[in-house]
Chain A
């Protein structure tokens, strides 16, 4: 089976940097994905890491350490519109399906 742990809530101010951590226990781990979900909406894809290291996409970066079974999502220059839930999800080699963490609710304050 697979399980992922991430903090339930994070609060930060506009313009700041926030890091959302994710640890996982999986069998057949293929890679780690991150999704953003606004209230009432569907999850939207942010990033995917298959190899160790940092992937940068604009204000968002994602990191993976396979040896530590750990990853994080880094959000820079926070904006009010970044207030949402963020999910880490592990992709497995067999089913090529995602197992999701329970999500981190990010509240950006003015």
Chain B
């Protein structure tokens, strides 16, 4: 079965600082990968998805970017964080063509 590792689990960053969240997946090959964000008390919003190495689709205009340098590695980045970037970031993986599983998430607070 697949395992999704996400880090760091929590971070507090000042406005204008860079961001890098990493996600790696084990137990599957060539998976579809996703980054979601959840604001406090809200639903999950799709930010990016990737069907393969170097293939990134952005769903929401923003100052975040994503990269997939290896088959099972997905990275979320920002050059300059905004207060509105605070939230719970979740990496996810598609399994068996129809089921999406989530990593444990990264709590980001921008101050």
Which of A13-21, A42-50, A53-61, A69-77 has 4 or more CB atoms under 8 Å from chain B? Answer: A42-50
Give the chain B neighbours of A43 by CB distance below 8 A: 44, 90, 102
Chain B residue total in the interface (Cβ 8 A): 22
Task: Give chain A's interface residues, CB within 8 Å of chain B.
Answer: 30-31, 33, 35, 41-45, 48, 50, 87, 89, 91, 95-103
B16-37 interface code vs A (CB 8 A; 1 in, 0 out): 0000000000000000101000
A48 touches B99 (CB 8 A): yes
A102 touches B102 (CB 8 A): no
Of all A-B residue pairs in the complex, the 8 with the closest CB atoms, nearest first, are A100-B43, A102-B43, A100-B44, A42-B105, A42-B102, A42-B104, A97-B49, A43-B102
Task: Give chain B's interface residues, CB within 8 Å of chain A.
Answer: 32, 34, 42-46, 49, 57, 59, 90, 92, 94, 97-105
B32 touches A96 (CB 8 A): yes
B103 touches A97 (CB 8 A): no
| Total of A-B residue pairs, C-beta within 8 Å | 55
Give the chain B neighbours of A30 by CB distance below 8 A: 98
B43 touches A98 (CB 8 A): no
Q: A95-B49, A96-B94, A97-B49 are in contact. Are A45 and B99 (CB under 8 A)?
A: yes
- A10 CB to closest chain B CB (Å) equals 16
B57 touches A98 (CB 8 A): no
A101 to B42: give the CA distance in the assembly, Å. Answer: 9
Q: Of A45, A95, A100, A101, which is within 8 A of B57 by CB?
A: A95
Give the chain A neighbours of B102 by CB distance below 8 A: 35, 42-45
A103 touches B98 (CB 8 A): no
- B30 CB to closest chain A CB (Å) equals 13
Q: Which single residue of chain A is at the shortest CB-CB distance from B101?
A: A45
Q: A42-B104, A43-B90 are in contact. Are A48 and B46 (CB under 8 A)?
A: no
